[in-house]
């Protein structure tokens, strides 16, 4: 289990994360979401031990900096660093220094799936191809804790599916824990067990993705004449957009109960609309900043 207690971090007196508290059970796929600059990458660097945490991050009670823990953690940053012009084969040998049990058969298998020549220089590869190589390394390590920063970025749909399937298999077979940040929230919705939203230096919401989305409902309404915002007073509104006779509203609560209350406004048309994790995320951020 990963335990985070009172985690804070600043750059040049600018607070990026403030008093983060979180527990991540083994065997969890956790999605970390937030707008650009929210601190997602910093969060992963702190968890990986790249930045010192002063015992505010513990893996099974141990620091990420301890030799015993280091071998269990694999951190894949958004733009992985490499020197010179290594080939995938040389990159694998480099990582073998830190992870002696890295599995060459897994590495070769994924390079084959991605149709990558392991004897060619990484410098000749596209961003997506380089990311595929590092993904192959990460999966070959089979870490107990895998930390992935925007790893879907640059991958084509087939590569994303192969990667997601491999992570799910790793979690199921090894009881691994995966923490991943992504701008593609729809990628996380059918992939992650749980999520954490970081905004304004703190965790604004967290929990099960399906449960979080189900607590919201969205309706499109049409009226005979123009409708005012005041007509919706007293309702659990998350967001409300009115254009003359038409309104689109997101509410927090049971959809049937909300529909019954909306019926009292005598709309000519009332349609419940599907709402996904990306919309829920947007509403969470905007409502947290007082915007509706």
Q: What angle do CA 161, 162, 166 make, to 5 degrees?
A: 115
- The reported pTM is 0.83
Confidence category of residue 53, pLDDT binned at 50, 70, 90:
confident
Task: Please give the C-alpha separations between residue 252 and each of 53, 60, 224, 235, in angstroms, as whole numbers.
Answer: 37, 37, 26, 9
Token pair in block for residue 56:
């505010």
What is the DSSP-derived secondary structure letter of residue 144? S
247 phi and psi angles, rounded to 5 deg: -140, 140
Percentage with pLDDT > 90 across the chain: 57
Token pair in block for residue 128:
């997506």
pLDDT at res. 31: 92
Q: Roughly how many angstroms between the first and final C-alpha of the chain, as a whole number?
A: 37
pLDDT at res. 177: 96
Region of 242 (left: φ > 0; alpha: ψ -120 to 50; beta: rest) is beta
């Amino acid at each position: 289990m990963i335990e985070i207690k009172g985690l804070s971090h600043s750059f040049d007196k600018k607070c990026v994360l403030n008093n983060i508290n979180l527990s991540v059970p083994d065997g969890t796929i956790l999605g970390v979401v937030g707008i650009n600059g929210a601190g997602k990458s910093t969060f992963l660097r702190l968890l990986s031990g790249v930045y010192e945490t002063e015992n505010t991050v513990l893996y099974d009670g141990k620091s990420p900096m301890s030799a015993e823990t280091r071998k269990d953690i694999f951190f894949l940053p958004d733009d992985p660093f490499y020197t010179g012009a290594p080939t995938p084969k040389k990159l694998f040998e480099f990582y073998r220094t830190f992870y002696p049990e890295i599995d060459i058969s897994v590495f070769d298998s994924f390079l084959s799936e991605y149709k990558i020549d392991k004897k060619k220089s990484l410098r000749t590869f596209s961003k997506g191809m380089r990311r595929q190589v590092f993904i192959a390394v990460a999966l070959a390590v089979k870490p107990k804790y895998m930390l992935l920063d925007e790893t879907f970025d640059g991958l084509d749909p087939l590569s994303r599916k192969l990667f997601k399937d491999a992570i799910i298999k790793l979690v199921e077979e090894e009881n691994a824990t995966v923490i991943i940040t992504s701008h593609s929230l729809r990628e996380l919705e059918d992939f992650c067990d749980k999520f954490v939203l970081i905004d304004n230096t703190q965790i604004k919401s967290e929990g099960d993705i399906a449960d979080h989305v189900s607590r919201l409902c969205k309706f499109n309404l049409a009226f005979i004449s123009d409708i005012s915002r005041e007509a919706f007073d007293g309702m659990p509104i998350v967001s409300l957009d009115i254009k003359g006779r038409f309104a689109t509203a997101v509410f927090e609560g049971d959809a049937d109960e909300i529909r019954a209350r909306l019926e009292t406004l005598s709309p000519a048309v009332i349609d419940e609309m599907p709402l996904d994790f990306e919309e829920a995320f947007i509403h969470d951020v905007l409502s947290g900043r007082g915007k509706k």
